[in-house]
Chains A and B, each alone.
Chain A
Amino acid sequence: MQGSTIDPSKTVVNYHHAAAATDSHHEEHHDFRILGLIVFLIAEGMIFMGLFIAYLTFRAVTPNWPPEGTPRLELLLPGINTTILIASSFVIHKADAAVKQNNISGLRTWFIATALMGAVFLGGQLYEYWHLEFGLKTNIFASTFYVLTGFHGLHVTFGLLLILAVLWRSLKPNHYNSEKHFGVEAAEIYWHFVDVVWIILFFLLYIL
């Protein structure tokens, strides 16, 4: 710590290390970007956490939950939707495995599959909105339902755009390879995040 005597051997080593670092300070900080994304997702997770806890509080302080006159939620379609979304997390992981083996066509196949599954999920979500018998302003349950699922849907849409952007970039030769695939990993991590949020959301809104 401070005030300690100088350790010459250690300092010299550090000095050389530092000099070496000078030449390469323009390197890409691959690991930092992933770390940055994870920290960002912690912040994102806190928004959802806030909204979930708000939902649970509304639920706790309202005498009858859901408030009277709320129709039962249909479980079949959202159940299928959930299965598709969870499955897509495994599919996108295949893409990551493919790019790590320099298999770009495999990356594209699995990313297209994930994108399709994401799109089916979003379509199913819209279909459910269309057929629900309550609107945004019906009651406090309906409002939280739409805001939570809508906010999550927004994230799915953004994840989908990320996947499409990675697909677009993978068309350039050697844009991604086994060494350099930040975009692929970022899209994958984001997709897993969206997936995990949905599992909690599904449990809170449909099951609980």
Chain B
Amino acid sequence: MTQAELQATANTPTHSPEPGQRKWWEYFTFNTDHKVIGIQYLVTGFFFYLIGGVLASAMRTELATPAPDFVTPELYNGIMTLHGTIMIFMWIIPAGAGFANFLIPLMIGARDMAFPRLNAVAFWIVPPAGILLLTSFFVKPPEAGWTSYPPLSETASKAGEFIWILSVLLFGTASILGAINFLITILKMRIPSMGFNQMPLFCWAMLATSGLILIGTPVLAGALILLAFDIVAGTAFFNPTGGGDPIVYQHMFWFYSHPAVYIMVLPFFGVASEVIPVHSRKPIFGYRAIAYSSLAISFLGLIVWAHHMFTSGTPAWLRMFFMIATMVIAVPTGIKVFSWLATMWGGKIRLNSTMLFAMGFISTFVVGGLTGVMVASVPFDLHVHDTYFVVAHLHYVLFGGSVFGIYAAIYHWFPKMTGRMLNEPWGIVHFVLTYVGFNLTFLPMHELGLLGMPRRVAMYDPQFAHINLICTIGSYLLAVSTIPFLVNAIWSWVAGPKAGDNPWQALTLEWMTTSPPAIENFEILPVLDIGPYDYGMGDRSTEVDVPFSEAKEPVLSAGPSSVLRADPDPSVAVNPSDRQPEE
């Protein structure tokens, strides 16, 4: 077989002439197809995101004025608790699981996950868990925040707290079952030609995430079981009057919940590593550095939990260890950030909504990362602990990091998931509103925190009123920013322009099949003959230099950046220069 013949076979998009497609109602059933499950996760997650967003707007409305005039302080506590719990457990983590479900088998050339039925079971636990959580509004919602620290969680609104525990336990089970699937799929189901170092970086990120879920989540389950005994059976594990110790709960809780931060953000590190090379038309800078730094983050993430407890009577020598270990995490994270920047450097950047969200992700996440290093330092943390500085920090990580990452991923893979393009101008409107609204909401909170405004309280000192009003206005802008996206997504799903197989001229395997992919993904299993990020490695551009008539011919000199791999469909390509009629 000559080189030319080889490329002609290897690069042929591997889809069947009559791809089997899913019917719309199949998305509402117990379906074992990883693509259906992925979309189910994402849509369910987004639904809960809207609910969590409404709760957030209610909180900001309450905080627009210093007095508790919109809701009662107790209800405010409930809204605050459910906002946090829903955003973390019902939106960001399921969204990560959704992309992982949709993308991992496609990226590694598998036909499905290792355990498809288990996968469906894992998903179908999530909606009941979410609905169960919302039912706590009918009794009296839990008031102790998403952390549920005793003794408050053991004294205030016990019924709501118990529902909260059940819901989080259910959710944790789903999360663990999902992680088993991701781990074994990535380890065992790759096409034969794909070694670990040819894996797309999203898979590396999910490998690291799954490890964290498997090690961390069970410990949270243990803590919640003990907490449930305290609430229901009257034991005193976390109650000092009965000989217990509330600090033990904090340790067990943060042993999961600090890694949970990485569970929430690592998948979107992976997304950034996918999106940025595609839209910068350059190879990723430092593939191995990014891949292995994910593993380093997950390992370090497991040994830093007590930095949440600097004010909980943690002894000084222990605080020292956790402070240094925490700051060390900035190193692998910094490696990633610099690698993304170096990938963009000198690239032919397409400033479309995907890339804008990815760049927004980096810029806001860096702010969150820097404030993270600040609060890791003990003296600074003692000053800002439980103030709005922490609120600002965590939202820069979880919104600026995870949610911007989720949006980048949605804009990037929507064409693959639905077969249709999202509207680009409205995507940019969505980005601008989100970016401005986000920073308007959370940037002033740093100031509030430094001035000493405590978090999780419905009323505050009138001196903070002006800055809080700015935050509230920003939060409304943020709420409004969802509308163009929603309309765009629904409209494009139904009537958007057809996307073609590979609208972004990307090289990873998910773009080598139809959009949306056929039921078993690939007609014949694809063969990898260039790396996932080999953009523009030859001396020709994939977009302008090679006319399509020539590109159809296997060219001996095409090299690793063969245009055949990234073959835009000329009738529907997004890029106008690709939209030339085929002769």
Point out residues on A near B: beta carbons under 8 Å: 1-6, 8, 10-12, 14-15, 17-19, 21-22, 25, 29, 31-33, 35-36, 39-40, 42-51, 54, 57-58, 61-62, 67, 136-137, 139-140, 143-144, 147, 151
Q: With A43-B176, A44-B218, A147-B226 in contact, is A19–B524 under 8 Å at CB?
A: yes
- Contact, CB under 8 Å: A58 / B245: yes
* Residues of B within 8 A of A (CB-CB), count: 66
Does B193 sit within 8 A of A, measured CB to CB? yes
Does B557 sit within 8 A of A, measured CB to CB? no
Point out residues on B near A: beta carbons under 8 Å: 1, 3, 6-7, 9-10, 109, 111, 114-115, 118, 176, 179-181, 183-184, 187-188, 191-193, 197-198, 214-219, 221-223, 225-226, 229, 233-237, 242-245, 247-248, 251-252, 255, 283, 287-288, 520, 524-527, 529-534, 537, 560
B218–chain A nearest beta-carbon distance, Å? 4
- Contact, CB under 8 Å: B560 / A54: no
A61–chain B nearest beta-carbon distance, Å? 5
A6 to B3, CA, bound (A): 8
A45 to B176, CA, bound (A): 13
Question: Chain B interface secondary structure, helix, strand, loop or mixed?
Answer: helix
- Contact, CB under 8 Å: A32 / B114: yes
- Contact, CB under 8 Å: B218 / A36: no
A47 to B157, CA, bound (A): 27
- Contact, CB under 8 Å: A5 / B520: no
Count of CB-CB pairs between chains A and B under 8 Å: 166
A43 to B183, CA, bound (A): 13
A139 to B216, CA, bound (A): 28
A120–chain B nearest beta-carbon distance, Å? 27
- Contact, CB under 8 Å: A57 / B248: yes
- Contact, CB under 8 Å: B235 / A136: yes
Q: Which of A5, A15, A19, A57 is packed against the most chain B CB atoms within 10 Å?
A: A15
When C-beta atoms are compared, the residue in chain B nearest to A19 turns out to be B524
**Chain B positions within 8 Å of A14 at CB level:** 191-193, 527
B276–chain A nearest beta-carbon distance, Å? 15
When C-beta atoms are compared, the residue in chain A nearest to B532 turns out to be A2
A165 to B506, CA, bound (A): 49
Q: With A3-B537, A8-B3 in contact, is A36–B180 under 8 Å at CB?
A: yes
- Contact, CB under 8 Å: A15 / B9: yes
A198–chain B nearest beta-carbon distance, Å? 17
- Contact, CB under 8 Å: B243 / A18: no
Question: Which of these, A17, A18, A39, contacts B183 with CB under 8 Å?
Answer: A39
The 10 closest A-B pairs by CB, nearest first: A2-B531, A50-B222, A46-B218, A50-B219, A18-B525, A47-B218, A140-B243, A14-B193, A143-B235, A43-B214
